[in-house]
């Protein structure tokens, strides 16, 4: 690690704000992952300066949100991890438009919208990710997805220059956008919602919450749906039909409650989870000729 880079980084965010050799198991919903060389949680106004510094020193970095769609390797992440966290002042409402900082949790944004009688985010109330991550992956559930409500997204490019993109420019598709391929960092999003009765909004959110509790293994660490939905199929049903319900590798297991989820039963390693995903994909392909692709993003060294 370049010591001059580290010194200048600490000058930007403060010495105590740079966490060295930080276990990524503390920052992912799978609760696995080795140490990152450095991890910071900077305020939005410092991001451009940080990206420029990384460019100046040729320092690699990656950006995470709530870590809800990540599998970080047991050997950790070399370089800098920028973790976007929720800040209370990164939220505002103008009529039916809501501006939200990238670090805010989807669930919190949905509840804030419901609190002022704005509908459209009910589908997102139970998704454990952040706004930024949801934009990158065009997150969705129960018939709704981010592309239905996104109006504009503010990003920084690799040089720290700010751009504002329309929903059309984001190239939103099934669990994808142009963010990753262009190396953008999401700083905030504007979503368009609709006025509705607060109690009706909350009732819909409660209904979806109960569906999640009934059907998903929320009591275990996981990254949500582990595999993308193959065209014409459902990943969970293919896994179940392949006889893999409850299949285990070390501490990783195919959930018996919902076969589309890989769970950490308590002592899984990232290698256990990765191997389980590989073996399940291989067996489903062997039986049905369909290759399951991970929805979970793999990061770091395994």
Active site residues: 175, 225, 295
Helix, strand, coil % in the chain, rounded to nearest 5: 35, 30, 40
Alpha carbon distance 212, 144 (integer Å): 15
CB 251 within 8 A of CB 295: no
Q: What is the DSSP letter of 1?
A: -
Nearest to 209 by CA among 122, 285, 273: 122
CB 121 within 8 A of CB 149: yes
Beta strands, E only, the chain: 19-23, 35-40, 61-64, 70-72, 77-83, 91-94, 97-101, 118-119, 140-141, 144-145, 150-156, 162-166, 185-192, 194-195, 222-225, 248-249, 252-254, 261-264, 297-299
Alpha carbon distance 120, 125 (integer Å): 10
Cα angle for residues 160, 161, 166 (degrees, 5° grid)? 125
Alpha carbon distance 302, 175 (integer Å): 24
Provide the token pair at 6.
């580290």
Cβ neighbors of 211 (< 8 A, separation 6 or more) are: 142
CB 34 within 8 A of CB 24: yes
Q: DSSP string covering 110-124, please?
A: HHHHHHTTEES-GGG
């Amino acid at each position: 690690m370049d010591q001059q880079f580290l010194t200048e980084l600490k000058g930007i965010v403060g010495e105590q704000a740079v966490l060295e050799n930080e276990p990524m198991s503390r920052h992912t919903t799978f609760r696995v992952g080795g140490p990152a060389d450095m991890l910071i949680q900077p305020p939005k106004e410092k991001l451009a300066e940080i990206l420029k510094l990384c460019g100046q020193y040729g320092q690699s970095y990656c950006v995470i949100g709530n870590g809800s769609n990540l599998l970080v390797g047991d050997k950790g992440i070399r370089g800098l991890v920028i973790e976007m966290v929720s800040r209370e002042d990164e939220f505002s409402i103008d009529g039916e438009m809501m501006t939200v900082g990238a670090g805010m949790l989807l669930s919190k944004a949905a509840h804030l919208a419901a609190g002022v009688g704005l509908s459209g985010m009910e589908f997102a109330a139970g998704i454990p990710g952040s706004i930024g991550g949801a934009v990158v992956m065009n997150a969705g559930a129960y018939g709704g997805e981010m592309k239905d409500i996104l109006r504009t997204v503010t990003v920084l490019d690799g040089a720290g220059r700010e751009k504002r993109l329309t929903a059309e420019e984001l190239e939103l598709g099934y669990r994808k956008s142009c963010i990753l391929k262009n190396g953008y960092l999401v700083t905030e999003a504007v979503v368009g919602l609709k006025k509705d009765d607060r109690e009706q909004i909350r009732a819909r959110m409660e209904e979806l919450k109960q569906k999640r509790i009934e059907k998903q293994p929320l009591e275990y660490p996981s990254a949500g749906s582990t595999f993308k939905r193959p065209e014409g199929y459902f990943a969970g049903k293919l896994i179940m039909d392949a006889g893999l319900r409850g299949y285990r590798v070390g501490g990783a297991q195919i959930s018996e409650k919902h076969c589309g989820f890989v769970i950490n039963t308590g002592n899984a390693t990232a290698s256990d989870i990765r191997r389980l995903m590989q073996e399940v994909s291989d067996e489903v392909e062997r039986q049905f000729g369909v290759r399951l692709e991970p929805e979970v993003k793999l990061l770091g060294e395994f």
